[in-house]
Structure 1
Amino acid sequence: MTTNRPEPPAEDGDSGARTALPTVGVPSAQRRRMSLIVAIGGLVLATDIATKTWAVQSLSTDPISLLGGALVLTERRNPGAAFGLGTSLTPLLAAVAIVAVIMLAVAARRPHSRPVAVALGLALGGAAGNLADRLLRSPGPMRGHVVDWIDIGSWPTFNLADSALMIALVCGASIALRTARRSTP
């Protein structure tokens, strides 16, 4: 005996109508959210690589000062993690980045809402951008230094991948708080 239970409406504004694709078996709303993750992650990664390439070519000898020196575009290499921590742990940081990218890719297979998809796309693109530096930049694979190029004075120098990761973190925290409020009686 089968029961015909309607599916609940999607959380991200979709009509709730879900049609499974015969070849994939994934609801169309979920496929759209997965496509959003890929698009955002790819855009972040491509933009990060392009801006780091530009920074290496243009800023290593001639920094650019903007806004009266409040913003300086300058090339710096960071062997460590955020805020210059763990500078002697570059291979470990590269391994952690590999695991993080894999975990984000696995999580991206089943995004539950559009906001979650946006956060996952930002995180995946940002993590992949910095991982590319760890794998491909000098002094060598798994020891590469991340290119940072945005200096706002009172904050450590950073790059677009770092920005995407921070925005993803804020989005994730916001989603978690909103979800917690909904589930609290």
Structure 2
Amino acid sequence: MIDAAPDATHTTPTGNRMTLVRSMRTSVFVAVVIAVLDQMSKAWALRDLVDGRVIHVIWTLQFNLTYNRGMAFSRGTGVGPIIGVIGLVVVVMLLLSLRRADNVLTRLATGLIIGGAMGNILDRLFRDSGWMRGAVIDFIDFQWWPVFNVADMAIMIGAATMIVAMLKYNSQIERTDGH
């Protein structure tokens, strides 16, 4: 059986390392931008939405400060520390998975998810009551949907982008395999 020549980026340990660095650089850049934007927006909310102040933006969209001690969409109140630990494990797993992220869409999605997770993990670690007892700051309120934040948006957009990348990648594999 004759094997096809491997891709030039994977022929040497240096090539593998460069591919990993390139994959990580894109994802880490996106993650840092998201985490910073998330923390900046939360600092604004904590400063300008105190004492029950609500800013009406348009239609049902308003900015309204809430503290989420549970998980997504304010479910599971009181399990924040467990969610924080799970979030850290997910971030580490995603960072390790970057070795296999061979397209920009997957790297972008991974960066969005990591950045969003880190934004919320920072809240859980350092806000309010102290180490691992903090609440996630939520303030984007449509009034007909649970209140959320920039990190939550990044996680959801990242997850949707990851699904698109997987579907696109799988269809490309099927076409090249003749299926």
Range of TM-score over shorter length: 0.7 to 0.9
Q: Identify which of 125, 142, 147 aligns with 1:135.
A: 125
Matches of 1:89 and 1:48, distance apart in 2: 22
1:138-149 residue pairs with structure 2 within 5 A? 138-149=128-139
Deviation for aligned residue 1:5: 5.5
1:79 and 1:90 in contact (8 A); partners too: yes
1:44-59 paired onto structure 2 within 5 Å: 44-59=34-49
Cα distance in 2 for partners of 1:27, 1:131 equals 29
SS of residue in 2 equivalent to 1:57: helix
Q: Cα offset for 1:112? A: 1.5
- In the alignment, the residues of structure 2 paired with residue 122 and residue 19 of structure 1 have an alpha-carbon distance, to the nearest angstrom, of 26
Alignment partner, residue 7 of structure 1: 6
Q: Which runs of 5+ in 2 are unaligned?
A: none
Equivalent position of 1:107 in the other structure: 97
| CA contact 2:94–2:114 (8 Å) conserved in 1 | yes
TM-score (norm 2): 0.85
1:66-118 Cα deviation digits (max 9, x unpaired):
114x1111211000111211102122111111111211221234422111100
**CA gap 1:19/1:179 in 2 versus in 1, 3 angstroms:** closer
1:45, 1:108 → 2: CA distance? 18
Q: Specify the SS of the correspondent of 1:155.
A: coil
Q: List alignment gaps of at least 5 residues for structure 1.
A: 9-16
Aligned to 1:152: 142
Query: How many angstroms apart in 1 are the aligned matches of 2:48 and 2:12?
Result: 48
Equivalent residue runs for 1:1-185 within 5 Å: 6-8=5-7, 18=9, 25-26=15-16, 28-61=18-51, 62-68=53-59, 70-184=60-174, 185=179
Deviation at 1:179, TM superposition (A): 3.2
Identity %: 32
Per-residue deviation at 1:161?
0.3
Summarize the Cα distance change of 1:27–1:91 in structure 2 as closer, same or farther, 3 Å threshold: closer
Stretches of 4+ aligned residues off by more than 4 angstroms: 19-22, 27-30
Distance across 1 between alignment mates of 2:82 and 2:93: 16
The alignment covers a number of residue pairs equal to 173
Normalised to the residue count of structure 1, the TM-score between the two structures is 0.83
C-alpha RMSD over aligned residues: 2.4
SS in 1 for 2:56: strand
2:23 touches 2:99 (CA, 8 Å); kept in 1? no
